[in-house]
Amino acid sequence: MPAALPAPRGPRSIRSKPRSGRSFRLSAALFLLAPAALPLSAAGPELRVGLMPAVDSAPALLAEKRGYFAREGVSVELVVFPNATERQVALQSGAVDGSMSDLVAFVYNVQGGFDLRITSSTDGSFPFLVRPGFPEGRKASVAMMEVSVSNYLADAWLAGRYEIEKVFITDIPARLEMIKRGKVDMACLPEPIASMGQLAGLEKRVFENKDDFYPDVMVFTARAAGAKREAIAAFNRAVDRAVADIRADPALARDILVERLRLDPRVRDLMALPEYRPTRLPSRGYLDKVSAWIEGLQGKPVTLDWGRYLLDASR
């Protein structure tokens, strides 16, 4: 079980009006992102929501830019965290009401006594980077984070193709460096980070997601879910507006990600984007599938009452 996390360092904010803050910079071996926040009302936000520097964030970022949160009657501050550790600290300390996460992290959190609610699936993209000169064969060493979606997807997408030697590396820049130096054959990384590796000369492979859902989810603390249910429903409605816009014009997702995450413009057309869908809860069948995989990872059953942890805020 993950050990208790240290006190948060206090996420910094970049407000969109006026625009200020630090820039986002990525290279094949370095990933730096200052947490970015968007406008607050004078009384402060009704919801403070964490995002990750990933393609899942596009609908929420576009919803903010187009004023959809305000139209739905909710004040929202969006904070982009550079890594899962800082996201976890912010959630546990109450610095944010909710955040993008994944089902693997969710199960480990709840089993460890941290009460969360899933309010929606999100749509992500995790390509695999391949080292130069990789001799295609039966075996492949793959860098990933152990308790994470990258481990789950390596088994889901590579297990039938290769005998996988898993190399557990938590830090994303370290994974990039290992694949760049040829120390591992492949690395599982989220978009747009994977495309930044592609810019550096690494091969990017994208595998089809044959499920109707993705392991990524939006979670809120149990306290926020109870006290701010109507605000969460308004947040979802605003995101759904943005999803409809992106489905009509996918270029909107590329543009908002480059703009708000301060990406190298060359990555715009390289990103492998998912099919963005309206907010929805994962199905019980999909939850059972991921739970079965987690049972193998942790060596014990997952016995969660999913009816307790799935929150349809619209009801």
Assess contact for 268 and 255: CB atoms under 8 A. yes
236 and 120 both lie in a single domain? yes
- Of 142, 172, 205, the residue at which a domain comes to its end is 205
Residues 101 and 85 placed together within one structural domain of the fold: yes
- Above 90 in pLDDT, residue 171? no
State whether 227 and 293 are in the same domain: yes
Q: What is the CATH number for 245?
A: 3.40.190.10
Amino acid 98: pLDDT: 98
The answer on 242 and 225 residing in a single domain is: yes
Q: For residue 26, what pLDDT band results from cuts at 50, 70 and 90?
A: very low
Q: Which residues pair with 76 in a beta bridge?
A: 47
Neighbouring residues of 146: CB distance < 8 A, sequence distance ≥ 6: 166, 168, 170, 297
Residue 12 lies in a domain: no
Residue 173's pLDDT is 87
Strands 203-205, 128-130: pairing kind: antiparallel
Q: Is 312 helix (H, G, I), strand (E, B) or coil?
A: coil
pLDDT at 284 over 50: yes
Both 80 and 102 in one domain: the answer is yes
Check: pTM over 0.75? Answer yes or no. Answer: yes
Q: Same structural domain for residues 175 and 29?
A: no
Same domain, residue pair 137 and 93: no
Answer yes or no: do 120 and 225 share one domain. yes
Q: Give how many domains the chain has, as a whole number.
A: 2
More confidently predicted of 21 and 230: 230
Say if residue 175 is in the same domain as residue 226.
no
Of 177, 205, 233, which closes a domain?
A: 205
The per-residue pLDDT for 172 is 87
Residue-wise pLDDT for 175-225, tens only, equals: 999 999 999 999 999 999 999 999 999 999 999 999 999 999 999 999 999
Domain match, 91 and 71 both: yes
Is residue 259 left, alpha or beta, with left meaning phi > 0 and alpha meaning psi from -120 to 50? alpha
Q: Are 43 and 36 a contacting pair, CB within 8 Å? A: no
| Residue range of the domain that includes 57 | 25-124+213-309
Largest separation between any pair of C-alpha atoms in the chain: 59
Whether residue 224 sits in one domain with residue 170: no
Looking at the structure, do residues 110 and 139 belong to the same domain, yes or no? Answer: no
